[in-house]
Amino acid sequence: MFKKILIANRGEIAVRILRACRELGIRSVAVFSEVDRKSLHVRLADEAYAIGPAPSRESYLRIDKLMGVARRAGCDAVHPGYGFLAENPALPQACREADITFIGPSAGAMEALGSKTAGRQLARRLEVPTVPGTNDPTEEPQARALSQSMGYPVLLKAVAGGGGKGMRLVCSHAEFESAFREAASEAMNAFGDERLYLEKYLERPRHIEIQILADAHGRVVSLGERECSVQRRHQKVIEEAPSPIVTPELRKRMSEAAVRLARAGGYVNAGTVEFLVDQNLNFYFLEVNTRLQVEHPVTEQVTGLDLVKLQIAIAAGHRLPFAWESITPRGHAMEVRLYAEDPENNFFPSPGKILSRHTPGGPGIRMDEGVYEGWTVPNDYDPLLSKLIAWGNSREETIARLRRALDEYTITGIRTNAGLFRRILEEPDFLRGEIHTRWLDEWLRRPRAPSSAPQASAKNSSIEAAAAAIVAAVWQAKQSAAQAPSASSDRESASRWKLEGRREQLDRVP
């Protein structure tokens, strides 16, 4: 097993990985940009090293800096997390040249499957159904001509993409040029690769993905599906397992297709094969994510497996200790992504200092996060704060637990999208499982009761004012306690109880 792992990422996924390392007795090494110096992953890691200014292209996307830290710290492995360089073949190649193990697929497997266009080519050779579109990166004039011949709407997608970055829905010829330019620019900023490809946009499809694991000894297994159809502008916001609409027969066919693709691509480690499923339950290959997914906890909850530990074990040369047929998912799991953004203000980012927070608990609740009270959320990266995951014996019980957990969750100083999830979990369409990839965008455009938004705004303002007053009171109490002369033990005890009472008040502010 490895002795020391460099985590080439930040935020909640860096925290998730280093916790797995600690349970395995492996030392963890964190990296951080200037604005992340006080981040939770830096605080929790065994070692931490600065790698540059806030812009990711000057820090987290710099392979030379990452490998320099890995060599200096004596790391024998690198875990990329998700995003940034996680699907860039140059990182595993650099690790190979430095004689450091990359916890993920080889550069060759990434190029065969992780490249969205190469993945489509492989799927077509294996006769796995694919969405109509280009098999190679395309330039703007050719893509525009093909869009006209196929008919709008179409999707522009980053070749090196993921997480909705570098993706644009184009509904008419007039908007094509600007959409192409914006998608290429976003792809370059997110992945260091501006190349795009084109797909025909399917009407009201469901986004369903298959989690796979493959070891270096020839065993490839499917861990079942996740439903990821609740998306805002192609960015997943709620995921669940299993899917409400997947039958045992469809699950078997999709899993077999995913395993065939992984075998053909020489894939080793954890990966996800994504599909679109139409209203007739026909499925179409979309892409392969050659990394750990943001939504991996829902699979962990229904299988009882730790995917990060399995990733590390596979990279260390261990065999998978189970076969596909032995995996029997139980119950239902659902995840919501809590972002520092304001849904009432067009989802505008909400960076700032976290004044207070209370995380939910109780039966079936899990919280994966990378924040703490007093930390300042930067405006330089994806605004994901935490992932709230609920598990239950049924989908209905899971939703009930998730509602209860969202009611318990409080954070002040910044705005979040927690209120949005409270609304979604009451929506009849969602409760019936009648969703698709544009469902949330359409639902958000529906008119709301005239008084709802102003009331919510007023409530938020009063909450923030109350929180600020309580914070000031706690601070003043701390100052008074520090400056006051020594008194009797009874008086000191009473003072501490009063301070704790004020802190408790602060924690209860929603």
What are the catalytic residues?
Answer: 291
Dihedral sign for Cα atoms in the order 347, 349, 352, 354: positive
Rounded Cα–Cα distance for residues 428 and 422 (Å): 13
- For 419, the token pair is 């209120």
With vertex at residue 190, the alpha carbon angle to CA 229 and CA 310, rounded to the nearest 5 degrees, is 65
Copy the structure tokens of residue 254: 């999709």
- Other CB atoms within a 10 A radius of the CB of residue 194 amount to 18
Strands 332-339 and 269-277 come out as unpaired
Helices vs strands, H then E, count in the chain: 17, 22
Produce one character per residue of 425-463: b if its CB has 16 or more CB atoms within 10 Å, e if not: beeeebeeeebbbbbbeebbeeeeeeeeeeeeeeebeee
Give residue for tokens 């602060």.
506
What is the rounded CA–CA span in Å between residue 54 and residue 68? 18
Q: Is the separation of the CB atoms in 262 and 108 below 8 Å?
A: no
Nearest to 473 by CA among 427, 428, 509, 435: 509
Residue 358's SS3 state is strand
- Which residues, other chains included, contact 454 with Cβ-Cβ below 8 Å and sequence gap of 6+? none
CA 134 to chain centre: 27
Give the up-direction half-sphere exposure of residue 487: CA atoms within 13 A in the CB hemisphere: 12
Characterize 25-56 residue by residue with b for buried, 16 or more Cβ atoms within 10 angstroms of its Cβ, and e for exposed. ebbbbbbbbebbeebbbbebbebbbebbeeeb
> If you search the block for the tokens 């599909």, which residue do you land on?
275
Where are the extended beta strands (E) located within 92-182? Answer: 101-102, 154-158, 168-170
User: For residue 302, what are its two tokens?
Assistant: 């229904």
Yes or no: say if 297 and 387 are a contact pair by the CB < 8 Å rule: yes
208's enclosing H/E stretch is: strand 206-214
| Interatomic CA distance for residues 223 and 320, integer angstroms | 12
| Pairing of the two strands 154-158 and 206-214 | unpaired
